[in-house]
Amino acid sequence: MISIKNVSKHYGTFKVLTDCSAEVEKGEVIVICGPSGSGKSTLIKCVNGLEPFQQGEIVVNGISVGDPKTNLSKLRAHVGMVFQNFELFPHMSVIDNLCIAQIKVLGRSREEAIERGRKLLERVGLLNQAEKFPGQLSGGQQQRVAIARALAMDPICMLFDEPTSALDPEMVNEVLDVMVGLAQEGMTMMVVTHEMGFARKVANRVIFMDEGRIVEDAPKEDFFSKPRSERAQLFLSKILQH
Amino acid sequence: MNYHWNWDIFLAETPSGSTTYLGWLLSGLEVTIAVSLSAWIIALIVGLFMGVFRTVPNRWLSGIATVYVEVFRNTPLLVQLFIWYFVMPELLPVSIGNAFKSINPFLQQFIAAMLCLALFTGARVCEQVRSGINSLSVGQRYAGLALGFTLPQTYRYAILPMAIRIILPPLTSEFLNIFKNSAVASTIGLLELAAQGRQLVDYTAQAYESFIAVTVLFMAINVVVMVLMHKIEARARVPGNAGGG
Amino acid sequence: MGYEFDWSSIPGALPYLWEGMIITLKITAVAVSVGIVWGTLLALMRMSGFKVLGWLAAGYVNLFRSIPLVMVLLWFFLIIPSVLVSLLDIPRSFDTRLVSAMVAFSLFEAAYYSEIIRAGIRSVARGQMGAANALGMSYAMAMRLVILPQAFRNMVPLLLTQGIILFQDTSLVYVSSLPDFFGVSYRVGSRDGRLVELLLFAGAVYFIISFIASQLVKHIQKRKTA
Ligand SMILES: Nc1ncnc2c1ncn2[C@@H]1O[C@H](COP(=O)(O)OP(=O)(O)OP(=O)(O)O)[C@@H](O)[C@H]1O
Ligand SMILES: [Mg+2]
């Protein structure tokens, strides 16, 4: 479903990604972790073409992301993305946040869009907040709306960039629960996160990045029981101390 | 000082007969409002597009917008006005230039003043729009694009609605400025408010009354604009957003 | 386009244009200096806590900020001469236009400067006034020794930018037919029937000076934040 082959990216002389390769099969859940600045966000943004890259190839559902002829908007419409800071549109009500792209991008009628939107709000437990504005919701609620917004586009896969790291601790689980549910339904997911509990529960594989390289790409059992690289070991021990 | 106050002067008939001096001021007020409002609308459109151009990843568009802003912000308004009025008709193709010079003088002055104020103010609006857009997180742009919006759609639905809300206060002061700046058009003979006040002085020598009246009218414009903009700001306020709206 | 440019009247007029530029720069320099001093006083008056002083300053600032500069200039050219003549007993032949222009710009700009300065003082005073008082400084002492120096350092770019705007606005003395740079350009242009060239030339000169100055301001700003 997602195939990343030898991708490199640099800003001027600074190499952000070096020769990264990874495969994600349909229905797989991949967790990406690594120290700050290691290029996790950059890699995941390359997958839907939000960040350009200079070398290598990324193919999503048979479509090459780096190809200048690719209609990126069309591709992105079917690749859901959830951000660290939610990035809901603050000037629109929750339900409008869910409907706008359905209407303007997918061409659904307003009624259809609202119906789909309300169903997803119900699923994330926020149907009663439909008419509120993002600024009136807690962080956890906003992130659940953001997930619902991405799901409203009927994505073939979902990308998450540290979806819980901007949240107060007591709100982390409400968001993770939604994500676990998605994973169990068979959604293909790439998740940048340091929530190792989530990884243990639903991940198929864990990718560990450091200094722009994919240092380790292993089934989760192997990753947690016997990580090969020293840096991954160090990283894990640090995280567990928290 | 033995100045002779005479407030009744406004009700006196002008030498031309058909109206009072107050009538002169009011017709000046009308011209001031007409030229400022029409220029403001153009300025908003130009400023919006140029401001967006300054933030898009396209060298040509951002280059054009940068040149526009620098040129129009670094030359005096008066020079710009004279260039619109005296120079443009000469530099345009002869037929258009002559057509312009053959319409009635008031229209010539009005058009020159309107274009001048519009593009002068547009450059300032452009900078406000740009800073409004830049004050939003890049995440908003990413979020729009990630939903499958094209770049224009991302601006239309995700970025501009918030950016414009953020810049409403500075836009209010640009809106006020355009009325004040329109007084410069008196130098090319446009009979707007300040020019009518001046004319009143020339005819009656009641300088103080005239200036006080004109000042009061300008202040009235200020008050109306501020009330209007406050209403717009209140309506545009986003629930739950303390700063952003 | 049908217009044939002829720039030949500019070289001969350069000495006059230069004299005009001197007048322009003189007005700018005086108005910036007096404007900043008077503007600071106005800002301090507004923040002093004496109600009457505050109202007077606020009234002054709001009055000047709500009327067009052109009107202020006309107004001053009308009254300053008679005031000067009656006060100082100077001969009627004395050219009061330059003095009038300087006074008008200074008083007008002070209103704008005072708003910049007030905002600058406020942003520093928020944290520093308490600290200075804790050290036993009086209000006046804290203002003079702690707050104003910092505020002015922060405000330099804004004050300079306002100065560049003022430099451009001095062209409005055209309404008093004072021969500043723009006035001279206009006169030479109409004398020789070369208004197009002279106006474009004047615009280019204003542009080059203002553009370079604003780039310098940007540079200063960058160094400050770096
Ligand atoms: N526009 C840019 N120009 C230059 N360098 C950049 C730019 N964007 C990101 N970088 C650099 O690229 C590197 C990788 O950034 P990235 O955001 O992908 O890291 P990350 O692994 O997501 O870190 P974090 O855990 O802090 O989110 C960082 O060192 C960052 O400083
Ligand atoms: Mg990141």
Contact flag B146-A136 (C-beta cutoff 8 Å): no
Touching partners of A (3+ C-beta pairs < 8 Å) = B
Residue B11 located in a structural domain = no
Task: Calculate how close chain B gets to C207, using CA atoms only, in Å.
Answer: 5
Q: Which two tokens stand for residue A67?
A: 């190809």
Q: HEC profile for B113-151?
A: HHHHHHHHHHHHHHHHHHHHHHHCCHHHHHHHHHCCCCH
Q: Give percent of chain B with pLDDT exceeding 90.
A: 79
C129: nearest Cα among C142, C148, C145: C142
Instruction: Tell whether the model's pLDDT for residue C88 goes beyond 80.
Output: no
Helix, strand and coil percent figures for chain B, each rounded to 5:
80, 0, 20
Of C1, C164, C202, the CB nearest to B93: C1
Contact flag B91-C210 (C-beta cutoff 8 Å): no
b (16+ CB within 10 A) / e for C167-192? bbbbbbbbbbebbbbbbbbbbbbeeb
Contact flag C199-B184 (C-beta cutoff 8 Å): no
Touching partners of C (3+ C-beta pairs < 8 Å) = B
Q: Which two tokens stand for residue C75?
A: 């107004």
Question: What is the pLDDT at residue B242?
Answer: 59
Question: What is the pLDDT at residue B245?
Answer: 38
Contact flag A83-B158 (C-beta cutoff 8 Å): no
Domain that holds residue B29: 17-236
Q: Is B49 on the interface with C (CB under 8 A)?
A: no
Best residue among A8, A13, A41, A43 to mutate for probing ligand 1's pocket (most ligand atoms within 8 Å of CB) is A41
Mean pLDDT over C41-45 rounds to 94
Question: What is the pLDDT at residue B244?
Answer: 42
Residue B160 located in a structural domain = yes
Contact flag B83-C200 (C-beta cutoff 8 Å): yes
Per-residue model confidence as pLDDT tens digits over B34-79: 999 999 999 999 999 999 999 999 999 999 999 999 999 999 999 9
Task: Calculate how close chain A gets to B51, using CA atoms only, in Å.
Answer: 20
Q: Which two tokens stand for residue A92?
A: 């629109």
Mean pLDDT, chain B, as a whole number? 93
Q: Is B13 on the interface with C (CB under 8 A)?
A: no
Per-residue model confidence as pLDDT tens digits over B198-211: 889 888 888 889 98
Q: Tell how many helices (H) and how many strands (E) occur in chain A.
A: 9, 10
Question: Could you tell me the CATH number of the domain that includes residue B47?
Answer: 1.10.3720.10
Cα–Cα distance for residue pair B157/A71, rounded to 1 Å: 20
| C9-225 placed in CATH 3.60.20.10 | no
Separation in Å, CA B58 to CA A74, B53, B132, B136, C136: 21, 8, 19, 19, 57
Contact flag A83-B165 (C-beta cutoff 8 Å): no
Residue B116 located in a structural domain = yes
Please, which pLDDT band fits residue A225 given cuts at 50, 70 and 90? confident
Is C48 in a helix, a strand, or coil? coil
Asked if A83 contacts A60 with a C-beta cutoff of 8 angstroms, the reply is: no
Q: Which two tokens stand for residue C173?
A: 């003395």
Domain locations in chain C as residue ranges:
9-225
Cα–Cα distance for residue pair C83/C70, rounded to 1 Å: 20
Touching partners of B (3+ C-beta pairs < 8 Å) = A, C
Asked if C188 contacts C16 with a C-beta cutoff of 8 angstroms, the reply is: yes
Best residue in B68, B77, B78 for a mutation probing chain C (most C CBs within 10 Å):
B78
Per-residue model confidence as pLDDT tens digits over A55-87: 999 999 999 998 999 999 999 999 999 999 999
Cα–Cα distance for residue pair A211/B119, rounded to 1 Å: 49
Query: Quick check: CB of A40 below 6 Å from ligand 1?
Result: yes
Cα–Cα distance for residue pair C193/B120, rounded to 1 Å: 27
> A104 to chain B: nearest residue by CA?
B149
Residue B7 located in a structural domain = no
Contact flag A89-B157 (C-beta cutoff 8 Å): yes
Strands (E), chain B: none
Per-residue model confidence as pLDDT tens digits over A125-146: 999 999 999 999 999 999 999 9
Atom of ligand 1 nearest to the CA of A42: 18
Mean pLDDT over C6-16 rounds to 93
> Can you state the angle between helices B21-53 and B207-236, rounded to 10 degrees?
40
State the distance from the centre of ligand 2 to the C-alpha of A239, rounded, in angstroms.
16
C36: nearest Cα among C171, C152, C170, C128: C152
Question: What is the pLDDT at residue A241?
Answer: 63
Per-residue model confidence as pLDDT tens digits over B105-157: 999 999 999 999 999 999 999 999 999 999 999 999 999 999 999 999 999 99
Which residues of chain C have a CB within 8 Å of the CB of B82? 186, 199
Q: Which amino acid belongs to residue A13?
A: T
Best residue in A75, A84, A89 for a mutation probing chain B (most B CBs within 10 Å):
A89
HSE (side-chain half, CA atoms, 13 Å) at B195? 18
Separation in Å, CA B117 to CA A226, B114, B121: 71, 5, 6
Task: Calculate how close chain B gets to A146, using CA atoms only, in Å.
Answer: 10
Residue B245 located in a structural domain = no
Q: Which two tokens stand for residue C48?
A: 């002093």
Mean pLDDT, chain A, as a whole number? 93
Of B76, B187, B197, the CB nearest to C175: B187
Considering only residues A83 and B1, tell me which one the structure prediction assigns the higher pLDDT.
Answer: A83
Contact flag C67-B219 (C-beta cutoff 8 Å): yes
Residue B189 located in a structural domain = yes
From the CA of A194, which ligand is nearest? Answer: 1
Mean pLDDT over C153-164 rounds to 93
Mean pLDDT over C137-157 rounds to 88
Atom of ligand 1 nearest to the CA of A35: 25
Asked if B91 contacts C196 with a C-beta cutoff of 8 angstroms, the reply is: yes
> A50 to chain B: nearest residue by CA?
B142
Instruction: Tell whether the model's pLDDT for residue B194 goes beyond 70.
Output: yes
Number of domain units in chain B: 1
Residue B1 located in a structural domain = no
Question: What is the pLDDT at residue A242?
Answer: 57
Which residues of chain B have a CB within 8 Å of the CB of A136? 239-240
Which residues of chain C have a CB within 8 Å of the CB of B78? 171-172, 174, 182
Best residue among A7, A18, A42 to mutate for probing ligand 1's pocket (most ligand atoms within 8 Å of CB) is A42
Q: Give percent of chain B with pLDDT exceeding 70.
A: 98
> B69 to chain C: nearest residue by CA?
C211
Atom of ligand 1 nearest to the CA of A39: 18
